[in-house]
Structure 1
Amino acid sequence: MTRRTDVHPDPARPGVGASLFSTWRVGNPLRQRQTVEAVAAAWERRPWPADGLLAYHVYTGHDTASLLHYSQWTDEQAYEAFARTQRLERVDEIDTAVPHIERLGLGRYRHHRSAVREGDRRVPGCIVVVDIEFDGPDPDRQRAWVDAVLDALEHEPNPHPGGIGAHFHLSTDGTRVLNYAEWESAQAHLEALAAPGNGIGSATDRWERVQTWPGLKSSVVSRYDHVLGLLP
């Protein structure tokens, strides 16, 4: 069976071989709520679809118009089998309940490295997704950039206390890095952005290196609230 949970996922969970992220544009806060309800209904009325799906979570965007979907799989093959045989019936039910959802694509990632405060048991009040795109595929560059960010975090002279954890994922096509960052609140993240420096972090040489990395094409920051967790 399928059960609902309010517990946030562990992005560094052992056994996760594929982390899939997708964004839906639904238009407004009412349609956000309606779509979440439709997703829950479509999943809870059916058996859990596959042993290879470990968890599925949905988040509402602070832009009041989008939803983020994050699913954890044992591997991409498990997702492909689900997509061939069981995905369409769920999508059709959701689209009947809330027509005209715009699906912006599926990102395929693998968790790479995490930075968390040791012993920190706070429940995140806000999830911040940082989507980094490079000008072409280069797995070595992906890993080197993450290493540079973690080095800058380790040597940050004024870390904001609202940060809980940062979980870096590498896209399987070699072009993107996604940081699933856990924050105490949206206000804490806004305060960190407003502090001196270009983005999160002080105006140090290490952060400047991160922000001016060769081939860095774009960096998009989005804030979300966790609203639905589904587990077997």
Structure 2
Amino acid sequence: MPEPIVRVFDDEHDLAVGTAGALLFAAMEAVARRGHFHWALAGGSTPRATYRVLAAPPFADDFPWDRHDAWLGDERCVPADHPASNARMIREHLFRPAGAEETALRAFDTETDPDAAARAYAEQLAAAVPKNDGGVPVLDVVLLGLGADAHTASWFPGSSFPEDRWVAASAGQHGGQRRLTLTPTIVNAARRVVFLVAGETKTDALRRVLQGPHDPVRVPAQRVAPEHGKVTWMLDAAAAGQFFAG
């Protein structure tokens, strides 16, 4: 596994601009090399700021809106118009401001049985995304956040996922809302994994993930360990703290 790259920005605005630039570069590279860009998007307030930047000039002018599919890293099992829906947030802050075709957003079916929805989403991935030699779809970019408990996507402490599954239903924290999530198997097959992290409440989680000890059951973000892909941590100064700022 290649060493992760850590980039630190002065504030959340600079973080959003820097991440939007990195996503645009990855999209243009994917289209130039393979004709299409497949990326998985994260929910949350920090990615939302990046989507707003990406949806506006100059980034939106160069993004290949007609040659991409936007998958979801995870989603809550709520109706599509629910305020907690990641798909709704992405439509409102990325697709609609950019005037982009919303059919490119590959949302989960959140109003059916979660296990059936996970299987259906895996079938969509299998049909649309080129695979590696092991038969796993290779996304160009997976964008992830990080919780204060070191969870990412809907991989919470204590959770586990079968290695032969690309998508799974997941229980929320403390018996909370059911969720659907990409699994470590497909995330670790991606060409690039980009963590987007802001705020001083995340500094301890960052240290646990990057400094160890290695305990992916308690520190789920440590499950991100691609054999060939690149991992980049995009941080604001508040999240980086003194340790990562140096």
Q: Where on the TM-score scale, by shorter chain, does this alignment land: which range?
A: under 0.3
Higher strand residue share:
1
Higher helix residue share:
2
Using the size of structure 1 for normalisation, the TM-score is 0.27
**Which one has more relative contact order, counting CA pairs under 8 Å at least 6 apart?**
1
